[in-house]
Amino acid sequence: MTPIDRNRLIFRLMTLDDVPAIAAIEEESFTTPWTKEAFVNELTNNHFARYMVMDYEGAAIGYAGMWTIMDEAHVTNVAVREAYRGQGLGEQLMTGLMRTAVLFGARRMTLEVRVSNAVAQRLYSKLGFEPSGIRPGYYSDNMEDALIMWAELPESAEVEPSYDD
């Protein structure tokens, strides 16, 4: 784990220049990572897509994305570079994403998470997400089920991370 100074983190919108770094984070984070082309498509053709980058000392160390449709937000991806995990940065990314969703008019947020991913499920529960169903065979690499989770978002963008890992 590479300790960081949280005061030096920058959260910003993802650009096309970020795609190679984001694809590298995808590769180390997921068994079926999105391709560079998928991210380019999201940034250039999907008007519902919103992606943010967590930048530290000029390098992307994490990112999160969602689609905002009407009053709902659907989380597409959340990932932190392996060397920076275990410091609450995933929670910080999620709270930033939740704030952004509220600013875009979302009142609820949903996501899917592997049924075996207890760490992520604990984080999402901590942020107010509740299980609402199962998507059987959702993950194509091993046909694992996905747990569907939903959260009601606050009416203002006052979602704060707790930082107590």
What strands lie across the sheet with 59-69, from one edge to the other?
Answer: 9-13, 49-56, 59-69, 72-80, 108-114, 146-152, 130-135
Write down the catalytic residue from 63, 72, 124, 158.
124
Catalytic residue list contains 27: no
Residue with tokens 């000392």: 57
Catalytic residue list contains 56: no
Write down the catalytic residue from 112, 130, 144, 163.
112
Catalytic site positions:
112, 124
